[in-house]
Amino acid sequence: MHDLAPSVSARIIHLWRCLLLALFCTVFSRHGVAVDLPDPYLARVEVADQSTQARDSALQRALHEVLIRLSGDQQVVALPAVKEALSKADSLLDQYGYDRAPALAPEGPARLLLEARFRPEAIMALLREANALYWAPNRPQLLIWSVLEQNQERRLLNASEMQALLPALFTAAQQRGVPLLFPLNDLEDATALPLDQLWLLNGEAITAASLRYHPDGVLAGRIEQRPDGRWQARWWFDDNGERWQLDLDADALDALAAGAIDQVANNWASRHAVRLGASAEQLELEITEVNTLARYAAVMSHLKKLPWARRVTLVGVSGPMLRFSLVSDVDRSQSQQLLQLDGKLEQQSQPVADAPPGVVPTTALRYRWRGG
């Protein structure tokens, strides 16, 4: 017979879990480190040969991938301007070449890949013309935990095992532009997240074990083979307290991964993507602590590379402060969000239009340069 009242130790454990969850939310919201995609305008697609017909088809598929990655929107290819551009993908091309990749099956032949890079300015012009969404290449990082049950045995999958068993997960992450993190699977992880708790998708335990990695989001999956040979998976996702579960069922183990990555990408894009080309807004921008020639050059280079900024003009210099006129594809609030996305610019408070006497009012966006 069990006591109805919880024990003192149980209450203490519950209290510690609550404290860990509170700490987790703080860490996730403040210390998740977004990273830049290596080359968001590059795609690698498999081809049968190097014929013109195979090349043209591959270029369309490569452009298709790049546009979905940069918009975050799987439906972007249905927009009229995008559909037209896909038919002449070579006109947006920067360069292409061929490469060999290992076979997918142990005894299979090596694969031939076409590697295509498209001109960034052409891609951005197309997205702007199509009034499409744009998801900046500075992306959140996703930590993945995964446990596999097969032949009545369970084991935690490390990164190399996931690469071998779930290659579609990595392909989908590359195609959608989702940077991945993997746990070390060491003693600290095993203590923080016992295998049975991961199998149960215990949100509190997964949350606590993920603290050491400072991810932007966590995806945990349990995968099992049923008696009839089919595979099923349940994926659990946590993004700063926003959670969902996804159940998948398939004949092949590898088919259980891509859908989870797509849902993560769709979730993040819905929060971070902005619509281009709908309007143009002119903003005043002030950047402080530009006190060396090296910093001046770095700031100028940084601003010129902002793909959502149609035009950036230096209009004044006052000591270590630079003043710019910026014409943005997005509104003021979205511009503020995008300017500080990669951590090189830190927003500063500034006097407002109804400032008290003796304070010069301004409506400029003011930032401190942190990019070195």
> Hey, how many other C-beta atoms are within 10 angstroms of the C-beta on 203?
15
pLDDT of residue 33: 66
Please name the residues in contact with 327: beta carbons below 8 A apart, sequence gap of 6 or more.
Answer: 280, 281, 282, 283, 309, 310, 311, 312
> Which residue numbers in the chain have pLDDT < 50?
1-31, 351-356, 359-360
Task: Quick: pLDDT tens for 154-202.
Answer: 999 999 999 999 999 999 999 999 999 999 999 999 999 999 999 999 9
Q: At what angle do helices 203-210 and 8-31 cross, to 10 degrees?
A: 50
Q: Which amino acid is at 117?
A: R
pLDDT of residue 2: 33
Q: Which amino acid is at 220?
A: A
Task: Give Cα separations from 260 to 43, 168, 233, 349 (angstroms).
Answer: 21, 10, 10, 40
Maximum CA pair distance of the chain?
79
Task: Quick: pLDDT tens for 53-104.
Answer: 999 999 999 999 999 999 999 999 999 999 999 999 999 999 999 999 888 7
Residue 32 burial by CB count (10 A; 0-12/13-18/19+): exposed, middle or buried?
middle
Please name the residues in contact with 356: beta carbons below 8 A apart, sequence gap of 6 or more.
Answer: none
pLDDT of residue 12: 33
Please name the residues in contact with 123: beta carbons below 8 A apart, sequence gap of 6 or more.
Answer: 41, 66, 67, 70, 92
Q: Are 309 and 339 in contact (CB under 8 A)?
A: no
pLDDT of residue 32: 58
Residue 31 structure tokens: 């210390």
